[in-house]
Amino acid sequence: MKNTMILVLVFSFVFVACSGDDGGPRIIRDLTQTEQKLVESSNLFGFNLMQEVVGLSDGGNVFISPLSVSFALGMTYNGARTTTEEGMRAALQYGDLTAEEINQSYRDLIDLLCDLDPKVTMEIANSIWIREGFEALQAFIDVNRTFFDAVVEALDFASPGAAGVINAWVNEKTHGKIEEIVEDPIDAMTVMFLINAIYFKGSWTTEFDPADTQAAPFHAPSGDTSVQMMHLHAELPYMQTDAFEAVNMPYGDGLFSMTVLVPKEGQSVDDLVGSLGANWSAWAAGFAVEEGYLWMPRFELEYETSLNDVLKALGMELAFSESMADFSGINPDHQLFISNVKHKTYVKVNEEGTEAAAVTSVEVGVTSAPEGFYLRVDRPFLFLIHDAHSQALLFVGKIVDPPSE
C-alpha cells in the first residue's frame, strides 16, 4: 500500500556560542549580510521548488534537497548570459546580489555548514564533467573551482565506462546511499554534467529508545497502514497554530535540527507546503521548549525526479530552450542549453537519528554535435568482411542477438 507522505525536512542551523569538544565555549560566527541574503534566497527558492514538485507529483512521497539543487544551478549560473541569466536569477531568488557576492556566499556556506557541528557529519561536494574535446572557457572553470570547490574532469563520454566513472564519484560522496545519477550510454549531444552531492548524518540530541518502538497505524488517504512508531517523552521546542502542530528535534549540539509539521484535522498537507514560503521565518521564531510526548514513524525513503518542468514553471524556460538558451559563459562557439536536471535523494530516520543524501545533476547539451561521430552498435546490424584492395566480398553477416563469448 502506498503511503501519501510529504516530508519537509528543514535542517535548521544557527550561529551561536556552544560547547566545544573540550567542554569550553565554541564560537560560531554570525553570517554576513550577504550570506544571510543568499540563505534567504536559497530557502525561498526551496519552498517554491517544493510547492511545484508537490503540485506536479502523483500525490505520493516527496523528499528533495533545495540546497543541493541550489548548488548545482549556482555553478551552472556562472555560464548563463543575457535573458537566460535573468531567468535563472529570478528563479533562484538572487535578487540584487552580484555574481561575486553569490559565489563568495556559496563558498562561505560550504565552509560554515561542513564545520558547524562536530557531532554531525555534513559534507558538500561539487563536480563538473566535460566531454573530451569540448572546450569550456577557463574563466567558467576557474570560478567554479574557486568558489564551489568543484572537481573538473574531462571524460570520453563515448566510452562504455564514462557513466560509471561519474556514478562512482556520486556513490563515494553520498557514502553509498545514491549509487547512480548518470545513465549509460551518455547522450551524444551531452557535453557537460554539473553535479552536487550532499551527505548528512546526525544523531538526535535526545534519542528515542528502540524498546519503545511499536507497530501502529498510519492514516494515509489511501487507507490505514502499519508502521514502526517511535516514542519519546522529552522537553523539545514545540508550537501550534490553527493549521498545524510542530516539533523541533535537534541533532548533536543543536546546530542542526529537524522540524516536523503535522496538519490539524481538516487541514491539507499540500496547503501547508504552499504556505511555507510566506510564513516559515515567523513560524521558526515561534517555538518554545515544552515537556511532551512524541510519536513518529521510523522510515527509510528513496526519491527521484526530473526538475525540468518544475524549473521552467519557476521562470527558467529559456535555460531549457535549444534555440534561445544563452550559456556563452561556458562556451561562446556552441549553442548550449540545459537538457535535464535530475534530482535523487535518500533519507533514513530511526531511533538514533537521521541519515540523508542528495545528488543534483545539471546536464548541458549542445544543439549541434561536436566534431567527430558517436556510434554505438547496440541494435541489430550487418557486417561484411572483404578484400580491401579488390573489394571482393568474403563474408557477410546479420547480427540480431549477439551470442555470448
| pLDDT tens per residue, range 25-41 | 455 778 888 888 988 89
Report the distance separating Cα 14 and Cα 254, nearest Å. 9
- Parallel/antiparallel/unpaired status of strands 151-155 and 120-131: parallel
Kindly state whether residue 307 falls inside one of the protein's structural domains.
yes
Kindly state whether residue 263 falls inside one of the protein's structural domains.
yes
Kindly state whether residue 384 falls inside one of the protein's structural domains.
no
Closest CA to 78 of 102, 44, 52, 43: 102
The model's confidence at residue 21, banded by pLDDT at 50, 70 and 90, is very low
The model's confidence at residue 221, banded by pLDDT at 50, 70 and 90, is confident
In this predicted structure, the answer to whether residue 18 has a pLDDT above a threshold of 70 is no
Tell me the DSSP string of 89-157. HHHTT-TT--HHHHHHHHHHHHHHHHTS-TTEEEEEEEEEEEETTPPPPHHHHHHHHHHH--EEEEE-T
Count of domains in the chain?
Answer: 1
Kindly state whether residue 10 falls inside one of the protein's structural domains.
yes
- pLDDT at residue 286, rounded to an integer: 94
The model's confidence at residue 376, banded by pLDDT at 50, 70 and 90, is low
Q: What is the DSSP letter of 12?
A: B
- pLDDT at residue 209, rounded to an integer: 97
- pLDDT at residue 20, rounded to an integer: 44
Q: Which residues pair with 219 in a beta bridge?
A: 224
In this predicted structure, the answer to whether residue 14 has a pLDDT above a threshold of 80 is no
C-alpha cell belonging to residue 182: 548518470
- Pick from 118-122, 136-140, 341-345, 381-385: least confident: 381-385
- pLDDT at residue 377, rounded to an integer: 65
Q: Write the CATH number for 81.
A: 3.30.497.10
Closest CA to 8 of 355, 269, 397: 269
Report the pLDDT averaged over residues 234-251: 93
pLDDT-above-70 percentage for the chain: 89
pLDDT digits (tens, 9 = 90+) for 54-96: 999 888 889 999 999 999 999 999 999 999 999 999 999 999 9
- Pick from 30-44, 131-145, 350-364, 380-394: least confident: 380-394
In this predicted structure, the answer to whether residue 13 has a pLDDT above a threshold of 60 is no
151 Cβ partners below 8 Å, 6+ apart? 125, 126, 127, 128, 169
Kindly state whether residue 399 falls inside one of the protein's structural domains.
no
Kindly state whether residue 183 falls inside one of the protein's structural domains.
yes
Report the pLDDT averaged over residues 89-104: 95
Task: Give the range of the structural domain holding residue 339, as residue numbers without chain letter.
Answer: 1-369
pLDDT-above-90 percentage for the chain: 70
Amino acid letter, residue 191: V
Report the distance separating Cα 217 and Cα 297, nearest Å. 10
Kindly state whether residue 349 falls inside one of the protein's structural domains.
yes
- pLDDT at residue 59, rounded to an integer: 83
pLDDT digits (tens, 9 = 90+) for 301-311: 999 999 999 99
Report the distance separating Cα 66 and Cα 127, nearest Å. 18
Using CA atoms of 335, 336, 337, 341 in order, give the dihedral in degrees to the nearest 10: 160
310 Cβ partners below 8 Å, 6+ apart? 49, 52, 53, 56
Q: Count how many Cα atoms sit within 13 Å of the Cα of residue 236 in the half-sphere of its side chain.
A: 25
Higher pLDDT, 299 or 16: 299
Three-class secondary structure of residue 330 per DSSP: coil
- pLDDT at residue 356, rounded to an integer: 93
Kindly state whether residue 392 falls inside one of the protein's structural domains.
no
pTM of the model: 0.89
Report the pLDDT averaged over residues 103-123: 93
- Pick from 204-208, 286-290, 335-339, 384-388: least confident: 384-388
Q: Scanning the structure block, which residue is given the C-alpha cell 537566460?
A: 84
Closest CA to 135 of 333, 321, 327: 333
Report the distance separating Cα 390 and Cα 312, nearest Å. 58
Report the distance separating Cα 397 and Cα 381, nearest Å. 8
pLDDT digits (tens, 9 = 90+) for 117-161: 999 999 999 999 999 999 999 999 999 999 999 999 999 999 989
